[in-house]
Structure 1
């Protein structure tokens, strides 16, 4: 047996994370994960900024360290809208129709 699946083979292996938020300037970049902890009321990842060597943090939700959304996991990313999103869209369109009635043509 190769040991516990929870313990890395080498103790000096670095764990990395990638910024996934589409509008963040660091999107797509990978960093060494120093720590992941709840701070400021949310899960955050901590890393050293390579340009300044200062400790920085980002919300884990903006990285590949965030847990996968259950809806996305169940649908395999194939569904465009959740049922709740579809209901909101219907409500929006009904409100739109009430505020802006269709023109009557003779």
Structure 2
């Protein structure tokens, strides 16, 4: 788990499968009780790091596409 704000950050789990569930790229694993769980693949080290995040080297917690999406939402909220 690599997501910086997730309570399981830094924990390692045995990889079971990677699949598209609910229209999202997800990773399946068994938790400590043996239950099958899934998380967005982007929250794990299964996905290559975003080049912007790597280049920012911790200086920005946001990705460009997320900031652009936020800007679009804000524009649409204007009266």
Residue 45 (structure 2) pairs with residue 64 (structure 1):
yes
The TM-score with structure 2 as length reference comes to 0.64
Structure having greater relative contact order (Cα 8 Å, sep ≥ 6): 2
Query: Which of the pair is proportionally richer in helix?
Result: 2
Unaligned runs of at least 5 residues, structure 1? 1-18, 86-106
Across the two proteins, how many residue pairs are aligned to each other?
63
For residues 9 and 18 of structure 2, the distance between their equivalents in structure 1, rounded to whole angstroms, comes to 18
Unaligned runs of at least 5 residues, structure 2? 68-79
The TM-score with structure 1 as length reference comes to 0.49
